Amino acid sequence: MPKSICVFAGSSSGAHPQYTQAARELGRELAARNYGLVYGGASVGLMAVVADTVLEAGGNVTGVIPEFLVKKRGRKIQAQSRRSVPALHASKPSKPRRFAYILAR
């Protein structure tokens, strides 16, 4: 099973352009080192920047998004796979050992 890294970050781009640049660098490194990305399924903000960059670099992305966001906003996510969960708290991994690392802002 390939290693995955779970990233929790903002659904905004942050107050400084350096945050977006760091998110891009993280995405490139994940793909270059063959780590899959598991993230909150956002189509905006820093999480989306990481996901889009991983995909652009040929990496694997899984988006985990609460059902109410899918229903309310029709969220479109860029990922090879998407998993809907019943509530926001359920999107947080209950078994951290599934991931090589968890990065949170």
- Give domain limits for the chain: 4-104
Token output for 30: 């994940």
Q: How far apart are CA 21 and CA 94, in angstroms?
A: 29
Strands 101-104 and 81-85: unpaired
Q: What pLDDT is attached to residue 95?
A: 41
| Other C-beta atoms lying within 10 Å of the C-beta of residue 48 | 22
Global pTM reads 0.77
Q: What is the CATH number of domain 4-104?
A: 3.40.50.450
Q: Is the pLDDT of residue 76 over 80?
A: no
Q: Is the pLDDT of residue 4 over 80?
A: yes
Q: Nearest Cα to 63, choosing from 31, 25, 91?
A: 91
Q: What pLDDT is attached to residue 47?
A: 87
